[in-house]
Amino acid sequence: MKTLELATEVVVVGSGAGGGAAAVELVQAGREVLILEMGNRELPKSFTQREEQMMPRLFQDAGARTTADKAIQVLQGKGLGGSTLHNLNLCKRIDPELFELWAKTRDLPDIGERLRPHYDHFEKALSIAAVPEDRINRNNQILRAGAEALGWKNGPLRHNRTGCIGSGFCELGCAYDAKNNSAKILIPAAEKGGAKVLTGIRVTQVLHRFGRATGVSGQILDERGQVVGHATIRAERVVLAASATGSAALVIASGLPDPYRQAGRGLTLHPGATVGGVFDEPVDGWKGVPQSWECDELLHPTDPDRRMWLVPVFGHPVATAAMLPGLGPEAVARIGSYRHIAAITPMLHDSTVGRVDARGDARPLLHYSLNDADRRMMAKGVSAAAQVLLAAGAREVLIPTAVPQVVRTAKEAIAVAQQAFGPLDPPLAAVHPMGGMCMGGDPHTSATNADGRHHHCPNLWIADAGLFPTSTGVPPQWSTYSFGRLVGQAAGA
Ligand X SMILES: Cc1cc2nc3c(=O)[nH]c(=O)nc-3n(C[C@H](O)[C@H](O)[C@H](O)COP(=O)(O)OP(=O)(O)OC[C@H]3O[C@@H](n4cnc5c(N)ncnc54)[C@H](O)[C@@H]3O)c2cc1C
Which of 171, 187, 184 has the alpha carbon at shortest distance from 87?
171
The item of ligand SF4, ligand X, none sharing an interface with residue 161, based on CB under 5 to 8 Å by kind, is ligand SF4
Q: How many residues bind ligand SF4 (CB under 6 A)?
A: 13
- Using left for φ > 0, alpha for ψ between -120 and 50, and beta otherwise, residue 58 falls in alpha
The reply on whether position 477 binds ligand X by CB under 6 A is: yes
**Rounded to the nearest whole angstrom, what is the least distance from the CB of residue 493 to ligand SF4 in the complex?**
36
Interface pick for ligand X out of 10, 12, 15, 386 (rule CB under 6 A): 15
- Selected range binding ligand X among 79-87, 120-128, 366-374, 450-458, rule: CB under 6 A: 79-87
CB 238 within 8 A of CB 9: no
Window of 10-18, 108-116, 207-215, 331-339 that interacts with ligand X by CB under 6 A? 10-18
Toward ligand SF4, which CB reaches closer, 71 or 164? 164
Kindly report the CA angle at 152 between 344 and 285, in degrees rounded to 5?
25
- Pairwise CA distance, residues 54 & 223, whole Å: 13
Site membership for ligand SF4, residue 316 (CB under 6 A): no
3-state secondary structure string, 84-130? HCCCCCECCCCCHHHHHHHHHHCCCCCHHHHHHHHHHHHHHHCCEEE
> Which does residue 475 touch among ligand X, ligand SF4, none (CB within 5 to 8 A, set by kind)?
ligand X
DSSP conformational letter for 68 = T
Q: How far is the CB of 129 from ligand X (least distance, A)?
A: 14
Show the site string, 273-292: x = touches ligand SF4 by CB under 6 A, - = not: ----------------x---
Judged by CB under 6 A, which stretch of 30-38, 259-267, 294-302, 452-460 contacts ligand X?
Answer: 30-38
Helix, strand or coil for residue 22? helix
Quick check: 312 binds ligand X (CB under 6 A)?
Answer: no
Closest to 196 (Cα-Cα) out of 68, 306, 32: 32
Could you give the CA distance from residue 37 to residue 12 in angstroms, rounded to a whole number?
9
| CB 275 within 8 Å of CB 389 | yes
Alpha helical stretches, state H, 395-445: 410-415
Closer residue to ligand X (CB): 247 or 419: 247
Question: What is the β-pairing status of strands 2-13 and 33-37?
Answer: parallel
Count, residues in the chain? 493
Q: Judged by CB under 6 A, which of 57, 78, 237, 380 binds ligand X? A: 78
Q: Which does 471 bind (CB under 5 to 8 A by kind): ligand X, ligand SF4, none?
A: none
- Alpha helices in 137-242, H assignment, sequence order: 138-150, 187-192
Q: Which stretch binds ligand X (CB under 6 A): 1-9, 43-51, 99-107, 474-482?
A: 474-482
> Pick from ligand X, ligand SF4, none: which does 167 bind, CB < 5 to 8 A by kind?
ligand SF4
Whether the bond into 426 is cis, omega within 30 of 0: yes
For residue 29, the minimal CB distance to ligand X (Å) is 19
Q: Which of 10, 88, 185, 384 binds ligand X (CB under 6 A)?
A: 88
CA distances from 24 to 7, 32, 33, 179, 350 (A): 19, 11, 9, 18, 32
Work out whether 465 is an interface residue with ligand X (CB under 6 A): yes
Question: Among residues 5, 449, 435, which one has the least CA distance to residue 235?
Answer: 5
- Residue 382 touching ligand X (CB under 6 A): no
Cα–Cα dist 62/55, whole Å:
5
Contact by Cβ (8 Å): 86, 441: no
- Could you say which residues in the range 144-203 bind ligand SF4, by CB under 6 A? 161, 164-170, 174, 176, 178-179
Q: How far apart are CA 457 and CA 448, in angstroms?
A: 9
Closest residue to ligand X, based on beta-carbon distance:
16
Residue 178 binds which entry of ligand X, ligand SF4, none, CB below 5-8 Å type-dependent: ligand SF4
Residues numbered 378-437 forming contacts with ligand SF4, rule: CB under 6 A: none
Number of residues that bind ligand X (CB under 6 A): 41
Q: From the CB of 205, what's the least distance to ligand X, in Å? A: 9
Residues that bind ligand SF4 (CB under 6 A): 161, 164-170, 174, 176, 178-179, 289
Query: Rule CB under 6 A: which residues touch ligand X?
Result: 13-19, 36-39, 75-78, 82-84, 86-90, 171, 202-203, 241-244, 246, 250, 431-432, 464-465, 475-478, 480
